[in-house]
Chains A and B, each alone.
Chain A
Amino acid sequence: MFALGDLNLTYLVSITAVSLYVSTAAVALSAALGLPISLAVGFRDFYGKSVVTSVISTGMGFPSVVVGLVVLLALSRSGPLGTFDLLFTPEAMILSQTILALPVLVSVSLSAVQSVPQDLRDAAFAAGGTSTDVALLVVREARYGIVTALLAAYGRAISEVGSVLIVGGNIVFSDSTSFTRTLTTAITVEARKGNIETGIALGAILLALVLGVNALGARFRDRTPGRNGRGR
């Protein structure tokens, strides 16, 4: 049986799976909410737009333990979302990670959308495009930045400790399978126990995961033509 200190394969696989599940779901949810927000804010000029973008940027610096505390209060039995009985579940962790990843995703993708030159929007319009066609063209042109936004949000989610510890509870069953323990919270447990080597091994796995996700994203981002510079 594979083992590294107190680690066994079942434990390792399950905490990795929980990390991937919670982070991927949180980023998917953030993308579903955040990309339409980026397009809506990026496409329109409206009164107070600079305030909205400032608020979004500020959200990138939300302290994760504060977010965890707010989600804990919201999901607790007497909180507004208490009836859903989500506290100390992976879904509660998804919620808190979504709140943390959303501002990162919106802010970076908004910047990408706004950086698409007006000339290209005009060209799409002049070629007979409707407003929907122009919006799709902008998403396509901003794909590099949008993928970067997804990767940044994923990085924020998978490296999260404070809030998932608070709302997830760091729970492992007696058969060593994880319910709400992630790679990051497992590292804190090992560090507290003084198992530095085990913590470093878990950290290496986490880094490998982040590297793998980034490599996949970069491969997708660079696959399409048109990014070889604008002119000779």
Chain B
Amino acid sequence: MTTERPGTGGPGVGESDGSTAPDPASNGAGRGGTRLAAHDLGHGFGNGAVLEDISLAVEPGEILAVVGPSGTGKTTLFRLLAMFERPDEGTVEVGGDDVWDLPEARRLAVRRRIGMAFQTRSLFSTTVEENVSYGLRVRRSWSARIRDAVEGLFGRDEPSDTVEKALRTVGMFDKVDRDAGSLSAGEAQRVAIARALAPDPDVLLLDEPTSNLDPRNTAAIESAMRAARDRGIAVALATHDMQQARRVSDRTAVILGGTCIESGPTDEVFESPDDDRVRQFVEGKLVY
């Protein structure tokens, strides 16, 4: 059973309470803003349910931390939110549309409003610039892509402003021409986040983006998360790092055993949790 705090709205983590989360209207001026919500999600694989009855939402201009120990279903949840697969139960809504009720072409358009970066190294075997521009290229028509490929045979263009902006957000523009295979793990993760940011998504999903990274790269990625939030992007962060959740998020949802058991403004969840298991978990006394 999810513990919902007053004023958190909707199912689980819903609307901003205005106290800890920045006002979406004050961020990302001119940006429409898109809400990503999950309702009663349930999903499993061959050997049983991984997620049960999960409801949460992330609003434009806020960072939602989804915390829980490793193996509790955070990655499965994020894959469902990113539309990798259809949930066994419940719905995923983007901007009010149930994504799996949409025709395929519209579902693709909705999917392209979501950016995602993963826990594992996931850069393509090419340059940093080509990695970051990948999402932009696949959105172009085939004729434009073929023309670009032919022009590419006769010399390379300068990186586009969009690519430059995304790389500057993660502090990696100086490595734009580098081979992605030569980057350190932290640098690669920052480039992966730039790739997710380049198409200017409405929603950004980050699945354990800083696990095993050094403090410098972690700080750069957290700074990029805040910059995305300030541009009005709805940012969801899966992490098992309690301190990180406290540092960067406006709201927190705690998942234990595949179920969201408490959600609300981050300060309240950490300082006065309603659920005893959450209290033990944030105090490091609940070991899974």
Contact = CB atoms under 8 A, between A and B. Distances in A.
B118 A227 contact: no
B124 A123 contact: yes
B185 interface: yes
Given A122-B84, A123-B124, A128-B135, A232 B196 contact: no
A133 B120 contact: no
Interface residues of B, number: 34
B185 A225 contact: no
Contact of B135 (A117, A120, A122, A127): A127
A224 B126 contact: yes
Q: Interface SS of chain A: helix, strand, loop or mixed?
A: loop
Contact of A123 (B118, B182, B183, B199): B118
A128 B181 contact: no
Nearest to A231: B185
A129 B184 CA distance: 26
Contacts of A231: 121, 181, 183-185, 188
B112 interface: yes
A225 B118 contact: no
B138 A232 contact: no
Interface string B100-130: 0000000010011011111011111111000
Contacts of A77: none
A133 B182 CA distance: 25
Contacts of A160: none
Interface residues of A, number: 25
A127 B196 contact: yes
A225 B138 contact: no
B167 to A, nearest CB: 15
Contact of B120 (A119, A127, A228, A232): A119
Contact of A226 (B112, B114, B124, B134): B124
Contacts of A224: 125-126
B229 interface: no
Interface in B135-186: 135, 138-139, 179-185
A137 interface: yes
A220 interface: no
B82 A226 contact: no
Among B84, B124, B195, residue most surrounded by chain A Cβ atoms (within 10 Å): B124
Nearest to B126: A226
Given A228-B181, A232-B184, A141 B125 contact: yes
Contacts of A225: 125-127, 179-181
Given A119-B118, A228-B179, A232-B184, A128 B125 contact: no
Given A120-B124, A140-B124, A227 B181 contact: yes
Nearest to B201: A128
Interface in A25-69: none
Interface of B: 82, 84, 108, 111-112, 114-118, 120-127, 134-135, 138-139, 179-185, 188, 192, 195-196, 199
29 contacts: A119-B118, A123-B122, A123-B192, A124-B124, A124-B134, A126-B114, A126-B196, A127-B115, A127-B134, A127-B138, A128-B111, A128-B139, A128-B199, A129-B138, A133-B138, A137-B124, A141-B125, A225-B126, A225-B180, A225-B181, A226-B124, A226-B125, A226-B127, A228-B179, A228-B181, A228-B182, A230-B121, A231-B121, A231-B185
Given A128-B199, A228-B182, 20 more contacts: A119-B118, A120-B122, A122-B84, A126-B84, A127-B195, A127-B196, A127-B199, A128-B108, A128-B112, A128-B138, A129-B138, A137-B124, A141-B125, A227-B181, A228-B181, A230-B121, A231-B185, A231-B188, A232-B182, A232-B184
